Structure 1
Amino acid sequence: MKLSNSAYIRNFLLSTLIFVGVVASFNFIVDPYGLFRVVDIEGFNRLKPEFNRNLIHSKTAAVRYVKPESIILGTSRANQGYDPDHPGWDDESPASRFNLGTPAANIYRMHRLVQHSQSVQPLKQIILALDFLSFNAARGNDGGIDNYVNVSSQGQPQPLAQLHGLIPAFISFDAIASSFKTIQDQDLNQTSVTYLPNGFHYKVGRGTQRRVHYLNNCARFVRSVYFPPPQRRYSFYDESSDRSSFRYFQKLVAKSYRDGIDLKIALNPPHAYMMEVIAKSNLWDKFETWKRTLVEINEETAARFETDPYPIWDFSGYNSVTTQFIPEERTPDTDEFFYFESSHFKPLTGDLILDRLLDYHDPQRIIPDDFGVRLTSASIEPHLAQIRVDQAAYRQTHAEEIQDVEEAIRGPLNRVRRAGNHELAEADLREDDSPMED
């Protein structure tokens, strides 16, 4: 029997709806981006290797389901360096903990994530892992955070935020591919990168250590992190958006005091190579100003709320962790190395930081005496002076590595100069262009 045109159209539409329904149901059940959390089966979809396709979307959605009382905030250094299951959180600590670190996060994004988390579940504790890069207002990398959080920056409800980005997660080809990859990569012993249910970015690394990997990252930081296009500058304040990085830090700290949150602040420790990048990029004065201002804001805000200041621990600089020698030739990676590369430290380093922050002592893991200095208005100037002394000593004992860093960033710095950044005029580098590409 011959079907009419209308019957063909009806059957086609019905078949299309069935196909879309099957695809949407499949992606909903597998949930590769962790947006729904309805089905959670070990060996099927518990690990989320595709979680980072839109990490801000995935993590803000996860907060609604996990309802953490304790969060870790920061950049990718926190994302893959701080384990929420660290034993320093004892039985009296908040049971539901989640790593809310996101790559390249600026302080505005961290402030908004606190607002979002607090709107879902009152927070008891925050580990705030800060980086100098997060305070460059000229970079402006908030990752579209306002589209995904429950409240506006003024604290007003945004009920439609939960719907943002859901359609591609249901019925896109990318979502189908991500679902199959999620099912396939469920053996933690067989995968090199994935996300755990607590938001922690599990990463194995390259398997080898080699200096060039560290140097390439130094060059990348000059090109796109400290002097990102189009402005090619580092500034705590951006005139075009009227955004002040320190203003949002103050808002985050004030909210923590007001809401009775136990806030612990760590200044992350990139490898000493990155300290040299900051110095050779003529940013050292700003780097020190950053630390002074964090201490000043913290203590002034504490005084306003008539309470003790939150602890700020500085792990950066030149110490027995950050100055670790990096071999020039390819060398097998072992637990003796503290870093994946010059920017990102391993979880074993993050464990040492959390040991210090949480006052936890593991006899099998000794915290170096020089790793972590408590910053106060009384200690900040002697501490900064000591870092300068340590810097001079490091340059004496690691001259070859310092030369390699200078050569790696010379070309990128010269390009930044030519783009009109006059702050680099005094940088101690020759004006010849020999770039090192990633």
Structure 2
Amino acid sequence: MTQLLRQLLLFSLLILITVAVYNIVIDPYGVIRGDMSKQFTTPNERYLKVKHVIQNPNLYNSYFFGSSRVSFINTKKINDNNTWYNLSYSAGVPGDFLYDLKTMKKNGVCIENLVIGIDDLSYYIDPQIHLTQDLRKPFKNRFNPLIEYISLIPSIEFIKTRELRKKLRFQGFYDIYDSGVSHFLGKDGWIERHPEAHINDPKFLVPKWDEDLYKSRIEPALDEIKAIILICKQENIDLTFFFTPLHVQTYLKQHFKDYSEFLLQLSQLTSFYDFSGINAITIDNYNYYETSHFRPFIGDMMLDRLFREERSEFGVLVTSETIDSVILQKQKDITEYKLKNKTPYN
């Protein structure tokens, strides 16, 4: 072996060690240490949560699935004889839930009840893209994809973001190892101290939307939901679906044809609770962090409807018999709202 070759090998080894040390120390997505008390950026909740329940297969018997919009529903407030865990994560869609459900069952996780939150992402985002996204990669086995996170290319921008949030005393906490619920007490505290500033923030004029990413895939999404329903029937798992309350700006931005078609076909597969639409909750900025995520007290209201059957206009049970009237009412509500309010969609 020549001197030059030895030097190249040594240099390559030093680079690999440096990269590994960076990822172990910084742990950008929280998957190596798994210590959420030191997590100042969004972790890969999908990986961490599935890994947690697989390592503790009998700790819970009931689960919530959903996108990050569902992550603020506090499952600790469900007062029944079950042990609930909020297994929601960033951009979670039915294809992801199906994959993770199979992984959990394969590893002997106890599942008696499953509640699944769906939204516009459910029929606009292809779950296949999450297989290559570090924030959303699924748990496969003990070492996969853990080994991939040790070799991530260091990012100066990521470090800057992390350090900035530390300086700002970021008060978010991801309760991975107990309830699965996300808590952002700092945000809620600020809103309560400055309600007018929050309500009038220009961010509420911007819908949560990605023209490049959102592509209609209604039929594949419904096929994934069918597969989930089949597994739950075979495994005797009690299954409930609900549609999340989209902020009015995001609700109006989506294509109503896709939305109504998805609801129509979903109602032929299963009944579901519908919190979406134009109502007193979805038009009030106070109830949201931005145009994507509703605040925890809205989640409490949803739990009241889902588990205590409290009668309310917020959260309508939709069936195959009522879906036509529900869609007609939604069309009417949109028309009336646009007549009374100035929106980018008039």
Q: TM-score, normalised by structure 2?
A: 0.75
**Following TM superposition, by how much is the alpha carbon of 1:131 offset from its aligned partner in structure 2, in angstroms?**
0.8
1:312 to 272, 280, 296: 272
Q: Distance in 1 between matches of 2:171 and 2:154?
A: 21
Q: Which string of whole-angstrom CA distances, capped at 9 and with x for unpartnered residues, describes residues 32-88 of structure 1?
A: 755467x97xxxx54643452x44333332332343422221112113x22232x22
Alignment of 1:22-41 (within 5 A): 27=24, 33=29, 35=31
Secondary structure, counterpart of 1:217 in structure 2: coil
Q: Which string of whole-angstrom CA distances, capped at 9 and with x for unpartnered residues, describes residues 331-375 of structure 1?
A: xxxxxx111122221111111112211217xxxxxx782101001
Alignment of 1:8-47 (within 5 A): 27=24, 33=29, 35=31, 46=37
**AA of the residue aligned to 1:236:** I
Alignment of 1:42-53 (within 5 A): 46=37, 48-50=39-41, 52=43
Q: In 2, are the aligned partners of 1:47 and 1:182 still within 8 Å (CA)? A: no
Tell whether 2:108 aligns with 1:132: no
- Residue equivalent to 2:146: 166
**AA of the residue aligned to 1:134:** S
Q: Which string of whole-angstrom CA distances, capped at 9 and with x for unpartnered residues, describes residues 304-344 of structure 1?
A: xxxxxxx51000011111122x5xxxxxxxxxx11112222
Q: In 2, are the aligned partners of 1:94 and 1:124 still within 8 Å (CA)? A: no
Q: Distance in 2 between matches of 1:119 and 1:89?
A: 29
- Residue equivalent to 1:384: 327
Tell whether 2:157 aligns with 1:214: no
- Flag the 1:133–1:98 CA change in 2: closer, same or farther, 3 A: closer
1:62 to 47, 52, 72: 52
Alignment of 1:103-252 (within 5 A): 103=91, 105-120=92-107, 121-136=109-124, 139-144=126-131, 148-150=138-140, 161-167=141-147, 169-170=149-150, 190-197=169-176, 198-203=179-184, 204-205=186-187, 207=191, 208-218=198-208, 220-221=209-210, 223-226=211-214, 234-237=216-219, 244-252=220-228
- Residue equivalent to 1:94: 83
**Taking every aligned residue pair, what percent have the same amino acid on both sides?**
18
**Following TM superposition, by how much is the alpha carbon of 1:209 offset from its aligned partner in structure 2, in angstroms?**
3.3
Q: Distance in 1 between matches of 2:153 and 2:222?
A: 42
**Following TM superposition, by how much is the alpha carbon of 1:112 offset from its aligned partner in structure 2, in angstroms?**
0.7
1:268 to 231, 234, 244: 244
Tell whether 2:300 aligns with 1:321: no
Bigger CA radius of gyration: 1
2:341 to 399, 420, 436: 399
Q: Which string of whole-angstrom CA distances, capped at 9 and with x for unpartnered residues, describes residues 381-435 of structure 1?
A: 2222222232233223x422x2xx33xxxxxxxxxxxxxxxxxxxxxx7xxxxxx
- Residue equivalent to 1:74: 66
Q: In 1, are the aligned partners of 2:32 and 2:149 still within 8 Å (CA)? A: no
Q: Distance in 1 between matches of 2:244 and 2:221?
A: 17
- Flag the 1:315–1:211 CA change in 2: closer, same or farther, 3 A: same
Q: Distance in 2 between matches of 1:149 and 1:289?
A: 32
Q: In 2, are the aligned partners of 1:271 and 1:323 still within 8 Å (CA)? A: yes
- Residue equivalent to 1:291: 263
Return 5+ residue gaps in structure 2 as ranges.
192-197
- Flag the 1:388–1:51 CA change in 2: closer, same or farther, 3 A: closer
Q: In 1, are the aligned partners of 2:45 and 2:89 still within 8 Å (CA)? A: no
**Following TM superposition, by how much is the alpha carbon of 1:291 offset from its aligned partner in structure 2, in angstroms?**
0.9
Q: In 2, are the aligned partners of 1:34 and 1:48 still within 8 Å (CA)? A: yes
- Flag the 1:193–1:294 CA change in 2: closer, same or farther, 3 A: same
Secondary structure, counterpart of 1:350 in structure 2: helix
**Following TM superposition, by how much is the alpha carbon of 1:259 offset from its aligned partner in structure 2, in angstroms?**
0.9
Secondary structure, counterpart of 2:170 in structure 1: coil
Q: Distance in 2 between matches of 1:343 and 1:375?
A: 23
**Following TM superposition, by how much is the alpha carbon of 1:174 offset from its aligned partner in structure 2, in angstroms?**
5.3
Q: Distance in 1 between matches of 2:272 and 2:320?
A: 11
Q: In 2, are the aligned partners of 1:71 and 1:100 still within 8 Å (CA)? A: no
Q: Distance in 2 between matches of 1:173 and 1:293?
A: 43
- Flag the 1:174–1:209 CA change in 2: closer, same or farther, 3 A: farther
**Following TM superposition, by how much is the alpha carbon of 1:211 offset from its aligned partner in structure 2, in angstroms?**
4.8
**Following TM superposition, by how much is the alpha carbon of 1:284 offset from its aligned partner in structure 2, in angstroms?**
1.5
**AA of the residue aligned to 2:238:** D
Tell whether 2:290 aligns with 1:341: yes
**AA of the residue aligned to 2:144:** H
Return 5+ residue gaps in structure 1 as ranges.
151-160, 229-233, 238-243, 299-310, 327-336, 361-366, 407-428, 430-438
Q: In 1, are the aligned partners of 2:67 and 2:90 still within 8 Å (CA)? A: yes
**Following TM superposition, by how much is the alpha carbon of 1:162 offset from its aligned partner in structure 2, in angstroms?**
2.4
Secondary structure, counterpart of 1:129 in structure 2: strand
Q: Distance in 2 between matches of 1:83 and 1:194?
A: 13
Q: In 2, are the aligned partners of 1:267 and 1:315 still within 8 Å (CA)? A: yes
Q: In 2, are the aligned partners of 1:266 and 1:313 still within 8 Å (CA)? A: yes
Q: In 1, are the aligned partners of 2:32 and 2:146 still within 8 Å (CA)? A: no
CA RMSD of aligned residues (A): 4.0
- Residue equivalent to 1:83: 74
Q: Distance in 2 between matches of 1:49 and 1:66?
A: 26
- Residue equivalent to 1:153: none
Q: In 2, are the aligned partners of 1:47 and 1:194 still within 8 Å (CA)? A: no
Secondary structure, counterpart of 1:253 in structure 2: helix
Q: In 1, are the aligned partners of 2:74 and 2:300 still within 8 Å (CA)? A: yes
Q: Which string of whole-angstrom CA distances, capped at 9 and with x for unpartnered residues, describes residues 252-297 of structure 1?
A: 111112111122211011112223212xxxx222211111111111
**AA of the residue aligned to 1:130:** I
**Following TM superposition, by how much is the alpha carbon of 1:27 offset from its aligned partner in structure 2, in angstroms?**
4.1
